[in-house]
Amino acid sequence: MFTSHSQAKEFQIRFQLTNLSKGDQTILDYFGNVRSLVDSLTATGNIPPNKEVVTYLLNGLGLSYEAFITSVTTRVDSLSSNELYQLLLIHESRFSHQTRSSISSFEPSVNFSTFGNRDQHGRANFRGGRQGRGWGRSFSNNRGGQTDGESAPHRAHA
């Protein structure tokens, strides 16, 4: 009875390890979850080899870690789960830094594009159509009508 219960527990833990995903967790939390399941598996009397633990860790990382996974799996020398953990922390830190840097460098261009197509006085610069030959009054002289200069905002005719 104990043996069948132990085998069922082992199967359940291995299933959880196989299907565990990092998702939005930090590396610290993700590694903690994997380590907890590995400790539970060890408690059943089945100590998983280091390569198996590394495989579980890499399996749940997701697409954003694809280049990292490739670099780890193509190494000549094997990697312990603790060494992998350290590399993942470094990778997460660099990724976080790059994300913050790209967001902060992107913000000014968003503000700039929001106010695009305006001249130095804040007036809209319309392309196409009449290109400066307005229907309104000219600011450069007092005669009104159509001119080649800057024109007042468009007003509807009655």
pTM for this model (two decimals): 0.59
Give residue 64's domain range.
Answer: 2-90
Task: Report the Cα–Cα distance between both ends of the chain, in Å, rounded.
Answer: 95
What Cα–Cα distance (Å) separates residue 146 from each residue in 3, 48, 88, 126, 133? 96, 85, 68, 16, 6
Q: Per the domain annotation, does 126 fall within a domain?
A: no
The residue ranges of DSSP E strands in the chain, in sequence order, are: none
Other beta carbons less than 10 A from residue 54's beta carbon: 21
Q: Which residues contact 123 (CB under 8 A, 6 or more apart)?
A: 150
Q: Per the domain annotation, does 24 fall within a domain?
A: yes
Into how many domains does the chain fold?
1
The most confident of 99-103, 108-112, 142-146, by mean pLDDT = 99-103
Lowest mean pLDDT among 13-22, 23-32, 116-125, 127-136: 127-136
Q: Per the domain annotation, does 98 fall within a domain?
A: no
Whether 129 shows a pLDDT value over 60: the answer reads no
